[in-house]
Amino acid sequence: MEYQAPGKTTIAPEVLLTIARLNALSVPGVSQLSTAPGDVNQFLTRGTNEGVKIVVDNGVVYVEIYVILKSNNNVRDVSHAIQAKVSRAIAEMVGMEVGKVNVHVEDVDFPPTDGS
């Protein structure tokens, strides 16, 4: 029996957005994703209002994540956890190299006060 080379696998950009979004939201201290500002030079426009921007350049993934953190968390620690988790998930799930994961903390979510 002759061996036949396997076919090609392609990854839809939405897959990368979903991986980044779900992994960022699963980090303790993240309240929600914020609206990402638009960018005319961006290669991938879908998802710009969903808190994540992804650019793939020469097979390397660059991620911008816009988050709102829960109060009483160390911003640096939560940001580093987001970077590590998103980077590892993309590398392990789709086998792509991650160039950078930039985290933009847009706000802090404080619990409502009772008004007194």
The one-letter amino acid code at 81 reads A
User: d(Cα 62, Cα 27) in Å, to the nearest integer?
Assistant: 19
Mean pLDDT over each residue of the chain, to the nearest integer: 87
Least confident segment among 88-92, 97-101, 108-112:
108-112
User: d(Cα 81, Cα 67) in Å, to the nearest integer?
Assistant: 13
User: pLDDT by residue (tens digit) across 9-40?
Assistant: 888 889 999 999 999 999 999 999 998 776 54
Looking up residue 84, the CATH number of its domain turns out to be 3.30.70.1350
Could you give the number of structural domains in the chain? 1
Query: Is 97 a member of any domain?
Result: yes
Domain that holds residue 23: 14-109
Query: Is 3 a member of any domain?
Result: no
User: pLDDT by residue (tens digit) across 51-72?
Assistant: 999 999 999 999 999 999 999 9
User: d(Cα 6, Cα 75) in Å, to the nearest integer?
Assistant: 45
